[in-house]
Structure 1
Amino acid sequence: MTLIAMISAKGSPGVSTAALAFTLTWPAPVLLAECDPAGGDLLAGYLARYELPPDRGVLPLASSALRGTADQDLTGNLIDLDAPRQQRMALPGLTEPAQSASLNLAWTALGEFFSRMTTRTVLADCGRLAAAHPPWSLLAQADLVLLTLRAHSLRTVSPAVSALSALRRQLPEGFVQQHVGLLLIGGGIASREISRHLGAPVVASLPWDPQTAAALCGDGRGRRRAPLMRHGAAAYDAVTERIAAQRMDSALSRRDTEQLPVTL
């Protein structure tokens, strides 16, 4: 179906909060996969008030993907955020950053598994590129990589320059141009200026909403109609339209490069 990876350059621009806001508001079935090498936030944050089994999540599913049994083991590793509807599922992340090294060989298998899923969109929260052991091979299989940054000032935008350079070095040639877009958090510098400065399109924007962000981190109560949640729901159309346009461009490029049959 669709794999969307969400990343940030460094600091805390809100990539995990944005991923959770998307998951809780999007109108289509979705799976939030915590693939941050620095560790997941759900169990200690949004889901902290629940007593949940600690032995489920991305690490055991990664082992299953390497064994070829991820299809059978998926459900047992998920948490239903919208029980019992199973429309909004979550795959908890690592509990210790030290575990990230053990996933280096598994990111490819996980990315392939997520890309093959036919029942729901996968939102992979991949955290900061500045962390140790970024999941490059998973990012390389995404239909869209959203680089998340605050639009407040040059100080908050400038880390994206080095992040985009790293993406160009680590991912296949042409991938960044075709599959990477920007997700802006808050106001400040105009989106067209950020896009021109970074050489990447702005796909969607979310407001700076500290109260709702705190609620999504498990601190306080939020409102379903809060600005962050409303804009999260509205971002669905922009993101899916971007992916559809990319797929159309790829199909046209393949058609243009196909050799015509030779008749003698």
Structure 2
Amino acid sequence: MPVTALVSAKSCGVTASALALTLASKRLSLLAECDPAGGTIRAGFLQGHVTAGYGLYHLAKAERTSPDALANAFANHLWPLDEAGHRKLLAGLTDPAQAAALGRTWPALSEVLHVLAEEAGYDVFIDAGRIALEAGSLHTTLTPAPVIHQADLVLLVVRGTEQSLTLARHVIGPLRAELAEYGSGADALALLLIKDGPRRAHQVAEALETPVLAALPWDPDTANYLTNAGRPPRGYGRSPLLRHARTATEQFEAAASRRSIQQQYPPRSANPQLAGVLQRLTEKAGGVRG
């Protein structure tokens, strides 16, 4: 299963989208709240039931001990999001000042997340928060750069508004360059569209020169519940947001599988000899049609 990182140019519904995807997945799923600006799910959706004794910050100390200690700490700091425990949360930081301590932890955490996805079959979603740049590159403290670099898919969450697209334009180039240099390739980057605003998916893709991999409906009642909890809206389990989120997880898996196959088996036309054969066959076909 893929490891999918969600990011934004500005607050754009990343956390609510990541939570919806995690809750809607048909498979085992995990949400890692890795936003260095701090996590909001424990105080929002979970209404403070998760204390500061659980969560991301505690992995930093464990990582400095040993890989085994990190793996054990990771398992011990997951919080169930449903009664069956099929959907889990690694709660985020309670204080943004804690982010500086995670510089060494991000790469090791990324490896753990990939093991969970590849060997245990989890859909893994990363709330990586707002993109922060420094000299045209991902800021090393204000973004969890290693988990973004190593993700199978990196989804920039945008809305169909001119304001959202204008902000997104400034981060797409640096993101694409970082993934090309440090990640699995620039084509790991795609868009997750929240259908709020006049721009349709094909217009957003054209404006940002980046494919829209999936779209989620503008569903303020469900999004508000995922953000602030309280009483679930009527028909919550069948809400447009969760139904489309379930479909989106399937689209992510298919896209990640295609990328994996392409990386293992490059196009045959990349072989110069085969490219020559292809050219000759094309020329002959053209002659027959003529």
Does the TM-score normalized on the shorter chain lie above 0.5? yes
Report the equivalent of 1:96. 95
1:231 equivalent to 2:248? Answer no
The TM-score, its normalising length taken from structure 2, stands at 0.81
Percent identity, aligned pairs only?
35
Runs of 5+ consecutive residues of structure 1 not aligned to the other structure = 259-264
Say which of 102, 112, 123 aligns to 1:121: 123
Cα displacement string for residues 147-206 of structure 1 (whole angstroms, at most 9, x for unaligned residues): 10111x221212111111221343343855321110000142121121122121111100
- Cα distance between partner residues in 2 of 1:170 and 1:250: 18
Q: For residue 9 of structure 1, report the CA deviation from its aligned partner.
A: 0.8
What code does the residue aligned with 1:29 have? L
Contact 2:179 2:188 in 1 (8 A): no
From the superposition, tell whether residues 49 and 56 of structure 1 become closer, same or farther in structure 2 (CA, over 3 Å): closer
- Cα distance between partner residues in 2 of 1:194 and 1:53: 40
- Cα distance between partner residues in 2 of 1:31 and 1:255: 37
Report the equivalent of 1:145. 154
Q: For residue 226 of structure 1, report the CA deviation from its aligned partner.
A: 1.3
Say which of 163, 168, 176 aligns to 2:176: 168
Aligned-residue Cα RMSD (Å) equals: 2.1
What code does the residue aligned with 1:134 have? T
Q: For residue 256 of structure 1, report the CA deviation from its aligned partner.
A: 8.2
Query: Aligned with 2:228: secondary structure?
Result: coil
Runs of 5+ consecutive residues of structure 2 not aligned to the other structure = 134-140, 272-290
The TM-score, its normalising length taken from structure 1, stands at 0.89
Question: Any residues of structure 2 matched to 1:19-98 within 5 Å, and which?
Answer: 19-48=18-47, 50=49, 52-66=50-64, 67-68=66-67, 69-83=69-83, 85-98=84-97
Richer in helix (by share) = 2
Report the equivalent of 1:261. none
Corresponding pairs, count: 254
- Cα distance between partner residues in 1 of 2:58 and 2:268: 40
- Cα distance between partner residues in 1 of 2:42 and 2:56: 13
Report the equivalent of 1:205. 215
Query: Aligned with 2:142: secondary structure?
Result: coil
- Cα distance between partner residues in 1 of 2:267 and 2:151: 19
- Cα distance between partner residues in 1 of 2:40 and 2:185: 27
From the superposition, tell whether residues 108 and 256 of structure 1 become closer, same or farther in structure 2 (CA, over 3 Å): farther
Say which of 256, 277, 283 aligns to 1:243: 256
Task: Tell me which structure has the larger Cα radius of gyration.
Answer: 2
1:190 equivalent to 2:203? Answer no
